[in-house]
């Protein structure tokens, strides 16, 4: 949404839920098949040095928001130094 003079405010909430077949997974599903696929992507990413992969799908881990920020700041330090 863009800041402006809208007459109303929209508030949205996200609630996590357990993944079930037929539902799009919003978080990494750690099973043998997906972990093997992630490993293939990780190897391809290692061959692409000009791209920084991050976040839940970039690391294929569940992160709470505070951990995402910690990991992002660590990536910045690694890339640019302190």
In this structure, is residue 65 part of a structural domain? yes
What range does the domain containing 39 cover? 32-80
Gyration radius from the chain CA atoms? 17
Helix residue spans in 1-82 (DSSP H): 32-46, 55-59, 65-80
Average pLDDT in the 46-50 region? Answer: 92
Give the model confidence (pLDDT) of 58-80 as tens digits: 898 888 889 999 999 999 999 99
In this structure, is residue 51 part of a structural domain? yes
Using an 8 Å Cβ cutoff, are 27 and 56 in contact? yes
In this structure, is residue 41 part of a structural domain? yes
In this structure, is residue 22 part of a structural domain? no
Number of domains within the chain: 1
In this structure, is residue 63 part of a structural domain? yes
Give the model confidence (pLDDT) of 23-33 as tens digits: 887 778 889 99
For the whole model, what pTM was predicted? 0.60
């Amino acid at each position: 949404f863009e800041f402006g003079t809208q007459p109303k405010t929209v508030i949205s909430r996200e609630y996590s839920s357990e993944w079930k077949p037929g539902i799009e997974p919003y978080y990494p599903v750690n099973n043998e098949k997906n972990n093997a696929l992630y490993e293939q992507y990780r190897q391809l990413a290692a061959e692409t040095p000009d791209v920084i992969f991050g976040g839940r799908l970039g690391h294929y881990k569940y992160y709470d928001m505070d951990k995402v920020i910690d990991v992002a700041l660590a990536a910045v330090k690694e890339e640019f130094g302190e």
